[in-house]
Amino acid sequence: MTAKARREELMIYLTDATDKKVNALYTLLEEDIKEHSFTLTSEHIDILEKRRADFLAGKTKPQPWQEVHARIRNKRKNA
């Protein structure tokens, strides 16, 4: 079974799982969940809203992830 299929199966299962089972799974994964979660500050939200507005107004264009990734790699390599 692929990871994608497992995710889908887990999502379906959790939809109808009892509170006891959901709490047990959360307890098992809590540390990992907290480690990978974050909260946006109001400053970050403002930045995202401005970027979105600029995009919707046609002031900026989307860039393919492959190009962004390559640019980041080049900067790291040349640093």
What confidence tens digit (pLDDT) does each residue in 33-76 have? 888 878 889 999 999 999 999 999 999 988 999 999 999 999 98
Residues 19-43 pLDDT 10s: 999 999 999 999 998 888 788 899 9
Domain boundaries defined on the chain? 3-36, 42-78
In the structure encoding, which two tokens stand for residue 5, read together? 């299929």
pLDDT at 4: 93
Give the amino acid at 26. Y
CB-CB neighbours of 25 under 10 Å: 14
| pLDDT reported for residue 73 | 93
- Identify whether the C-beta of residue 56 lies closer than 8 Å to the C-beta of residue 63: no
Could you count the other beta carbons within 10 Å of the beta carbon of residue 69?
A: 10
Nearby residues of 9 by Cβ (< 8 Å), 6 or more positions away: 1
Burial of 17 per CB tally in 10 Å (0-12, 13-18, 19+): middle
